[in-house]
């Protein structure tokens, strides 16, 4: 398989052009066709000589992602099963709202982290996505929306910090003023708590949003729900978050899925407040959506307000995020898992 041209950074594209003996302006022209015009066919790169277009086509693939299936509201929240060149597939979710056009993208095919409430973890890890496959999901979303997506969240299949280099390269292309030109503060990377990834991101000098999936306020429960906690327990995670917040002066979002009878009592809320008391952050409470293969249930309606009250008294801002895609298997990986069963 040829490499994807969208996997090249601007600098790598310039180096490629130099190696081909091309004048330096050619890299800028190609970059503009890829990102300003977002062409889907080499033939559309009209200001390039035919021989150069043919040379590029023999070396690189232009399209690495194709829509296989869409579920949900055709003009509202919808999930796209995106096919890759090797026959694998990933999911992305489009979440339009009055003032934003959000895209939730995947960073891996499957996931090795096996969080108990997540469909992606159930299928196991298959492989990392290339940068070009991450960018491909955004180009697909751009076509679907008929407009530039306003917000990108790495909350689809996979753990972004388990594929750090490809994800960060994609983030820089997404953020590049001559790339997809989406502001860093409109890009969110969500991690299950991979401490070295948080440490690296703190030193990148890029103002993206960091979201940490917490889901439990103590080590025994968190290790049960999220095996990553056995490697990076809460003490290490909180230390990394504290350092990240200090280095970037950014507020961290902590995700907390409420699961009835598991992590949703007043004591859990108090323990969460105590854990987060000294870290600049906010909490997103997510009532559990049904997941195939996980018996957990959605919390009582009064649970989220209780957490908001307890956290609020500790000076921690908390809000409830209602999953907009319960009816389209919103938990990451469910559409892919179901497709694998039926395809």
Active site residues: 91, 332
Burial class from Cβ neighbours inside 10 Å (0-12, 13-18, 19+) for residue 315 reads: exposed
Residue 154 or 244: which CB sits closer to ligand SF4?
154
DSSP code string of 15-47 = HHHHHTT--THHHHHHHIIIIIS--SSGGG-TT
Of 77 and 108, the one with the shorter C-beta distance to ligand SF4 is 108
Cα 85 from Cα 97, distance rounded (Å): 31
Q: Quickly list DSSP for 272-311.
A: HHHHHTTS-EEEEEEEPPPBTTB---PPPTTHHHHHHHHH
Instruction: Single out the segment in contact with ligand SF4 by CB under 6 A; choices: 62-70, 151-159, 239-247, 295-303.
Output: 151-159
Q: Which is nearer to ligand SF4, 159 or 264 (CB)?
A: 159
Nearer to ligand SF4 among residue 108 and residue 151 (C-beta): 108
Q: Indicate whether 159 belongs to the interface with ligand SF4 (CB under 6 A).
A: yes
If binding is defined by CB under 6 A, does position 158 make contact with ligand SF4? yes
# of chain residues touching ligand SF4 (CB under 6 A): 12
Site for ligand SF4 in 190-219 (CB under 6 A): 192
Pick from 32, 68, 114, 314: which binds ligand SF4 (CB under 6 A)?
114
CB nearer to ligand SF4: give 96 or 158. Answer: 158
CB 265 within 8 A of CB 292: no
Q: Residue 158 CB, nearest distance to ligand SF4 (Å)?
A: 6
β-pair type (78-84, 209-213): unpaired
Please work out, in degrees rounded to the nearest 5, the angle formed at the alpha carbon of residue 326 by the alpha carbons of 320 and 332: 90
- Secondary structure (3-state) at 154: strand
Stretch that binds ligand SF4, among 72-80, 115-123, 133-141, 269-277 (CB under 6 A): 115-123
Of the candidate residues 111, 166, 225, 238, the single one contacting ligand SF4 (CB under 6 A): 111
Other CB atoms within a 10 A radius of the CB of residue 165 amount to 10
For ligand SF4, which stretch binds (CB under 6 A), given 17-25, 114-122, 126-134, 181-189?
Answer: 114-122
Q: List, in order, residues 6 or more apart from 267 with CB less than 8 Å away.
A: none
115 is a site residue for ligand SF4 (CB under 6 A)? yes
- Using CA atoms, how far apart are residues 333 and 49, in angstroms rounded to an integer? 43
Q: Which of 31, 42, 113, 254 binds ligand SF4 (CB under 6 A)?
A: 113
Distance between CA atoms of 313 and 64, rounded to whole angstroms?
A: 49
Stretch of 113-121, 169-177, 234-242, 273-281 contacting ligand SF4, by CB under 6 A = 113-121
Interface positions, 298-337, toward ligand SF4 (CB under 6 A) = 332
- Supply the DSSP string of 147-162, one letter for each residue: S--SEEEE-SSS-GGG
Is residue 118 close enough to count as binding ligand SF4 by CB under 6 A?
yes
Applying CB under 6 A, which residues contact ligand SF4?
Answer: 111, 113-115, 118, 120-121, 157-159, 192, 332
């Amino acid at each position: 398989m040829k490499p994807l041209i969208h996997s090249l950074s601007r600098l790598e594209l310039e180096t490629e052009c130099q190696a081909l003996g091309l004048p330096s302006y050619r890299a800028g022209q190609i970059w503009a066709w890829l990102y300003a015009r977002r062409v889907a066919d080499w033939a559309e790169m009209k200001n390039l000589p035919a021989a150069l277009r043919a040379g590029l086509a023999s070396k690189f693939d232009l399209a690495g992602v194709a829509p296989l299936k869409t579920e949900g509201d055709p003009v509202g929240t919808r999930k796209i099963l995106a096919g890759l060149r090797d026959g694998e597939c990933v999911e992305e979710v489009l979440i339009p709202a009055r003032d934003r056009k959000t895209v939730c993208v995947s960073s891996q095919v499957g996931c090795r982290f096996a969080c108990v409430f997540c469909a992606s973890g159930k299928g196991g890890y298959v492989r990392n996505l290339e940068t070009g496959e991450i960018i491909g999901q955004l180009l697909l979303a751009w076509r679907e929306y008929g407009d530039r997506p306003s917000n990108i969240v790495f909350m689809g299949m996979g753990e972004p910090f388990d594929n750090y280099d490809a994800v960060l390269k994609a983030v820089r292309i997404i953020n590049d003023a001559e790339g997809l030109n989406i502001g860093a503060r409109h890009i969110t990377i969500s991690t299950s708590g991979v401490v070295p990834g948080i440490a690296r991101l703190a030193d990148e000098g890029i103002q993206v949003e960091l979201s940490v999936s917490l889901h439990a306020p103590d080590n025994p429960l968190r290790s049960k729900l999220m095996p990553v906690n056995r490697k990076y327990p809460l003490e290490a995670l909180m230390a990394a978050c504290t350092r990240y917040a200090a280095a970037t002066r950014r507020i961290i979002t902590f995700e907390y899925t409420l699961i009835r009878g598991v992590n949703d009592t007043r004591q859990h809320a108090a323990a969460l407040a105590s854990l987060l008391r000294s870290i600049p952050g906010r909490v997103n409470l997510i009532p559990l959506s049904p997941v195939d293969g996980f018996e957990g249930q959605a919390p009582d309606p009064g649970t989220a307000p209780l957490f908001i009250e307890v956290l609020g008294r500790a000076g921690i801002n908390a809000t409830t995020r209602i999953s907009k895609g319960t009816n389209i298997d919103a938990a990451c990986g469910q559409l892919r898992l179901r497709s694998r069963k039926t395809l």
